[in-house]
Amino acid sequence: MTGTGGFEAHDGYDGYDGKESGGERPYGEAGSGGRGSDGGPGEPAGTGRGGRGGGSGDLPRGAGGRGPAPAPRIPTPRASVEDSGLPLPDLADLGDLAPVPLDLSHDVLKSLLGAWALAACSAAETAAVEEHLGGCGSCADEARRLREAVGLLHQPESLDLDPGLRTRVLESCLSRRPPRIPVPAWAAPYDAETARLDALLQDFGDAEWHAPVRLRWFEEDAPTSRRTTVAGVIAHLLSVDGIIATALGLQDPLAEVAGAAEPDARGPAGRTEAFWRASHFPPTRAVRGPWREQSHSLVRTVSFTGSHAGGLAVSYGDFALPLHDAMLDRAFECWVHAEDIADAVDYPYEPPAPRHLNRMIDLAARLLPTALAERRRAGLSAPGRQTPHLVPAGAPGRSLRLEIEGAAGGEWLIPLDSPAAVGSADLEVAHVALDGVEFCRLAAGHVPPAEAAAGQLGDREAIQDVLFAVASLSRM
């Protein structure tokens, strides 16, 4: 018989999920107390228009019928053992929880030593490696070396040496046993600054040696610059230090450079340009060795000659300086260009020791009267209104009090009217206060005079002339 629902009625077919049910009728079968959805009175149960129990009003199994309920499609959460009322298992019954060492070959265990030293192995791998180290001497030695290397990688402090360590060690040694040939006090700043710069250069790679550096200075009250590289800066220092080497009778690094003997190549800028032109390729790290050897030779030579050579004249082309001042000048330029290099490679660099910085400031202060006279001769400044003529040599004249603050500071009276005049506190017309490092950077041409952070009091024209004269001390 076929019901109106379109399904053939026969035993063994479950119209709900298409599975065989062993002849059981899934919906309101005869004898179950149910009836078809449209079965009338007197008709067999479940034989209405809904077919065999297929009417829309029938309930599925478990919802009022006798059949078992279908399995839920999403399982319900399992209850915790703590909520079941049953006792928790005893930990002693769980057995040994320690990791079982792995059975690994020697090569595999050796390859795990690096990870073991870094504490990156699993518990089982760690147990296997440590068991292996107890019986393998070569792996034990390698593991010890790796652990020591890991200790260096995890240093909380900087690996750079303290800049003052060298000075402290030398002072401690010299206090116990003075040297037979001491370095003169006026050469100590050059010795210290070349050693600091050499320490900065020792770990440079090719990228750092070719990093761009811009050299800056003032010419005729205007800022000037020249672009080069780190290696080019060291070549510049090598060329200019050669001026002192020549004065001391040492080998000139430009002796075989074409064009170095020309008149325009006698000064610092001319010698540097001649050295750069003679290089077929830009200078590389190879320039560090000759520069370091020359600096050592200079310190060694002036130490042997002692104070007798301090007054030896060193010609810079347009002017000359006594040897003791020339060594301070070279120390100052070494520090300034070391800062240029450190800025190019983004590395911190500290100023010189206060006692050395004080000597450099004193040299600049002593050169200021001559620089003021040169500015007047060049028409860059005019004599004072009160003293339109130069005062006699040795006579007191108008003065500016230069006060340098900081550990390297002091006070200097700068004569304004003549290089040979004497500074006088009674004729003081202006007062300028500057930080020591700021003053040195102004003298190096790295700070414009108008931007120098100076405390000013008194004659504004005199102050402006002095600040521009300080900047005019700079050169390439």
Alpha carbons 197 and 342: distance in angstroms, whole number = 9
Q: What is the pLDDT of residues 154-203, one digit of tens each?
A: 555 555 667 678 778 877 876 777 667 888 999 999 999 999 999 999 98
206 and 334 fall within a common domain: yes
Consecutive H or E run containing 214: strand 212-219
Specify the pLDDT at position 225. Answer: 93
**Residue spans of alpha helices (H) in 345-459:** 354-377, 436-443
Q: How confident is the model at residue 329 (pLDDT cuts 50, 70, 90)?
A: very high
293 and 246 fall within a common domain: yes
Q: Which of 74-88, 239-253, 304-318, 409-423 has the lowest mean pLDDT?
A: 74-88
Is residue 253 included in any domain, yes or no?
A: yes
Quick one: what percent of the chain has pLDDT higher than 70?
72
Alpha carbons 451 and 455: distance in angstroms, whole number = 12
Higher per-residue pLDDT: 312 or 45: 312
Is residue 83 included in any domain, yes or no?
A: no
282 and 311 fall within a common domain: yes
Specify the pLDDT at position 402. Answer: 96
Domain boundary among 153, 174, 191: 153
Distance from the Cα of residue 230 to its chain's centroid: 17
Is residue 193 included in any domain, yes or no?
A: yes
111 and 214 fall within a common domain: no
Closest CA to 466 of 406, 405, 398: 398
Specify the pLDDT at position 19. Answer: 40
Tokens of 257: 């450079």
201 and 337 fall within a common domain: yes
Is residue 133 included in any domain, yes or no?
A: yes
Specify the pLDDT at position 58. Answer: 47
Specify the pLDDT at position 76. Answer: 63
Q: What is the pLDDT of residues 273-287, one digit of tens each?
A: 888 988 777 788 899
CATH classification of the domain holding 315: 1.20.120.450
Specify the pLDDT at position 254. Answer: 86
Specify the pLDDT at position 159. Answer: 58
206 and 320 fall within a common domain: yes
Alpha carbons 121 and 35: distance in angstroms, whole number = 71
Q: What is the pTM of this model?
A: 0.64
User: Within 13 A of 237's CA, how many CA atoms are on the CB side?
Assistant: 32
Alpha carbons 176 and 178: distance in angstroms, whole number = 7
Consecutive H or E run containing 191: helix 188-201
Number of domains in the chain: 4
Q: How confident is the model at residue 300 (pLDDT cuts 50, 70, 90)?
A: very high
Closest CA to 242 of 220, 271, 216: 271
329 and 362 fall within a common domain: no
Closest CA to 226 of 265, 282, 272: 272
Q: Is the pLDDT of residue 29 over 50?
A: no
300 and 199 fall within a common domain: yes
229 and 335 fall within a common domain: yes
Q: How confident is the model at residue 74 (pLDDT cuts 50, 70, 90)?
A: low
Average pLDDT, integer, range 342-369: 95
Specify the pLDDT at position 39. Answer: 42
Q: Please give the C-alpha separations between residue 91 and each of 6, 88, 94, 137, in angstroms, as whole numbers.
A: 63, 9, 5, 39
313 and 197 fall within a common domain: yes
Specify the pLDDT at position 438. Answer: 95
Count Cβ atoms below 10 Å from residue 2 Cβ, excluding itself.
9
Count Cβ atoms below 10 Å from residue 110 Cβ, excluding itself.
17
Higher per-residue pLDDT: 65 or 446: 446
User: 287 is in which domain, residue-wise?
Assistant: 182-344
Is residue 88 included in any domain, yes or no?
A: no
128 and 213 fall within a common domain: no
CATH classification of the domain holding 453: 3.30.1050
Is residue 247 included in any domain, yes or no?
A: yes
Sign of CA dihedral 89, 92, 93, 99: positive
Specify the pLDDT at position 304. Answer: 87
Q: How confident is the model at residue 85 (pLDDT cuts 50, 70, 90)?
A: low
Is residue 460 included in any domain, yes or no?
A: yes
Higher per-residue pLDDT: 72 or 151: 151
Beta strand 422-435 with 396-405: parallel, antiparallel or unpaired? parallel
